């Protein structure tokens, strides 16, 4: 079963991320951000590889400024790992897939 990256908005962030029974890796990004585009393929792969165990969610900071402000997103890409509605780990900047996988693994 292949699971795609989920796109969340201000309106459904709490239901999609905070209420999730699985750990959630959230990518705060924007369409104009080069490094954000660089890590997108890795996020797609992780979404498939961790399907059923963890979720990968993207939040467009231009369209969802309330959520970006709530989590103090000042530079993108910024990745937050949530478990049980709490931030467990933060990664700022484009990093390789192994680093992101390790963030998820620590929460599983």
Q: Which residues are catalytic?
A: 33, 36
Q: Supply φ then ψ for residue 79, to 5 degrees.
A: -110, 130
**Helix then strand then coil, % of the chain, to nearest 5:** 35, 25, 40
Tokens 């585009």 belong to residue = 37
């Amino acid at each position: 079963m292949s699971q795609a990256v989920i796109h969340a908005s201000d309106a459904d962030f709490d239901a999609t991320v905070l209420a999730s029974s699985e750990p959630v890796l959230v990518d705060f990004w924007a369409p104009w951000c080069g490094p954000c585009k660089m890590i997108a393929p890795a996020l797609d792969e992780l979404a498939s590889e961790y399907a059923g165990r963890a979720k990968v969610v993207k939040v467009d900071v231009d369209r969802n400024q309330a959520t970006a402000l709530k989590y103090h997103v000042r530079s993108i890409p910024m990745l937050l790992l949530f478990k049980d509605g709490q931030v467990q780990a933060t990664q700022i900047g484009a990093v390789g897939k192994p680093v992101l996988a390790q963030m998820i693994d620590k929460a599983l």
